[in-house]
Amino acid sequence: MPSALPIADPAPSDGLLIPGPDAGEVPFGVYVHVPFCRVRCGYCDFNTYTASELRGVRRDDYAGHAVQEIRFAEEVLERSGVPRRPVSTVFFGGGTPTMLPAEDLVMILRAIDETWGIVPGAEVTTEANPDSVDADSLETLRAGGFTRVSYGMQSAVPHVLATLDRTHDPERVPLVVDLAKQQGLDVSLDLIYSTPGESLADWRTSLDQAIACAPDHVSACSLIVEEGTAMGRMVARGELPAPDDDLAADMYELADDVLGAAGYSWYEVSNWARGEAHASRHNLSYWKGHDWWGVGPGAHSAVAGTRWWNVKHPAAYANRVLSGASPAAGRETLDEETRYVERVLLAARVRGELATSELRREARGRVAGLIARGLVDGSAAVRGRVELTRQGRLLADAVVRELLD
């Protein structure tokens, strides 16, 4: 089962917000969570459900429920006095959005467009498993307004995929990348490194195979062993070794070298793109603190200074939206201190995003020491930006802690 929700204030059933004075001044995006997977990967604690866990909810009904929440969202924003903005980015994540027929995803996207309007040239992404798309579904997605697909490739090495419980055939990845490109879709590949048993040579193979597909964008994340997952239990019982931090650091450096040499440059600690135009605008909007409405079970939202998260199970979610009540389970309003901490935490990981002038005086005083230790880039600092060096990216959490101490 997925992990628990945060603890905070109860959310009002009418969902109304109390917008701050600068409400509506940042771009607005929509995230749609699709909580279905064919099987659960042993390492994953995302809010997703296999057929036997759905307690009678039908996947076929999901698009209707999501559209219900979109209508509800329109009313909440209107009644709360949040200025109306067209949608700059849309991201369908999961779970596996492409477990639903492409027509259902397009129906939800159409509802978003009818409700707020989607700005011309907006980025519209769906995540997908390589074995859950084909030429027809990709064509339907493109014709319906999708511009980008992000495939969960994870690895090209069979024994690594097996440890991760991934079910797709690695040979399918280049095929589905080509199919997406034929449709004119931007393509991203998600990779995971430091899986137990994975060698540096295995990781190099995965990087080479990913690059051979010539995607527009690559995410490479270190495996997190989550408590409460099947993999977490195997590591706790000693049946699998825990990932090795030193090897993970070598793997990160190798990724940065290999991706860099192939023309991909980093724009966030775990993300590389073939030029700025291919960076994920939706993910950047989270890191930059923009507003977004998260549709679907367990989805998080942040609008006009309030953050909330929906009930997690699709059955509870369906009950809420069908009765016209807010699907939110809890919410919080951030005080100034928390907003500052979060801003530094997120912006420091994005290349060129954090201005030195945003830091408090004590933190500004620490930047010179971080430059001297090779963790922050000196030339970017001259331009007034706090930008991590490669060594700084390897130690990003420690650098941020030092800035916030």
Contacts with ligand SF4 by CB under 6 A lie at 37, 40-41, 44, 46, 48, 94-96, 129, 152
Supply the minimum distance, in Å, between the C-beta of residue 376 and ligand SF4. Answer: 33
By CB under 6 A, the residues from 183 to 202 that bind ligand SAM are 190, 192
Nearest to 29 by CA among 105, 95, 119, 110: 119
Q: Which partner, ligand SF4, ligand SAM, none, binds residue 255 by CB below 5 to 8 Å per kind? A: none
Structure tokens at 312: 């997690």
Best CA proximity match to 93, nearest among 144, 30, 156: 30
Q: Is 243 in the site for ligand SAM (CB under 6 A)?
A: no
Measured from the CB atom, the residue of 104 and 387 that comes closer to ligand SF4 is 104
Dihedral over Cα of 145, 150, 156, 158: its sign:
negative
Rounded to the nearest 5 percent, the helix, strand and coil shares of the chain are: 45, 20, 35
> Cβ closer to ligand SAM: 24 or 101?
101
Distance CA 62, CA 53 (A): 15
Least separation in angstroms between CB 35 and ligand SF4: 9
| Nearest one of 75, 146, 74, 138 to 107, comparing CA atoms | 146
Question: Is 206 a residue that touches ligand SAM (CB under 6 A)?
Answer: no
- CA-based max dimension of the chain: 59
Residue number with the shortest CB distance to ligand SF4?
A: 44
**Nearer to ligand SF4 by C-beta: 190 or 387?**
190
With binding defined as CB under 6 A, does residue 43 bind ligand SAM?
yes
Report in angstroms how near the CB of residue 374 gets to ligand SAM at its nearest: 27
To ligand SAM, the closest distance from the beta carbon of 93 in angstroms equals: 5
Applying CB under 6 A, which part among 93-101, 106-114, 202-210, 234-242 lies near ligand SAM? 93-101
Residue 91 and residue 282 in contact, taking contact as beta carbons nearer than 8 Å:
yes
Q: Which residue, 90 or 354, is less far from ligand SAM as judged by CB?
A: 90
Q: Between 94 and 170, whose beta carbon lies closer to ligand SF4? A: 94
Q: Would you say 40 or 313 has its CB closer to ligand SF4?
A: 40
Alpha-carbon distance of 50 to 38, in angstroms, equals 6
Alpha helices for 308-376 (secondary structure H): 314-322, 336-347, 361-372
Q: Which is nearer to ligand SF4, 96 or 306 (CB)?
A: 96
Cross-strand bridge partners of residue 92: 32, 126
CA-CA distances (angstroms) from residue 345 to 116, 217, 220, 327, 401?
A: 31, 23, 19, 28, 8
Q: How far apart are CA 183 and CA 148, in angstroms?
A: 10
Comparing CB distances to ligand SF4, the nearer of 15 and 152 is 152
Q: Is 224 in the site for ligand SAM (CB under 6 A)?
A: yes
Q: Between helices 200-212 and 172-182, what is the axis angle to 10°?
A: 30
Around Cβ 78, how many Cβ atoms within 10 Å? 10
Applying CB under 6 A, does 254 fall inside the site for ligand SAM?
no
Q: Which stretch binds ligand SAM (CB under 6 A): 39-47, 79-87, 246-254, 312-320?
A: 39-47
Q: What is the x/- site pattern for ligand SAM, positions 122-161, by CB under 6 A?
A: -----x-x----------------------x-x-------
Nearer to ligand SAM, 17 or 133 (CB): 133
Nearest Cα residue to 221 out of 244, 263, 190, 265: 190
Q: Tell me which of ligand SF4, ligand SAM, none is bound by residue 40, counting a contact when its beta carbon lies within the kind-specific cut-off of 5 to 8 angstroms.
A: ligand SF4
CB of 309 to ligand SF4, least distance (A): 17
Task: Report the first-to-last Cα separation within the chain, whole angstroms.
Answer: 35
Residues at the interface with ligand SAM (CB under 6 A)? 43-44, 46, 93-94, 96, 127, 129, 152, 154, 190, 192, 221, 223-224, 226
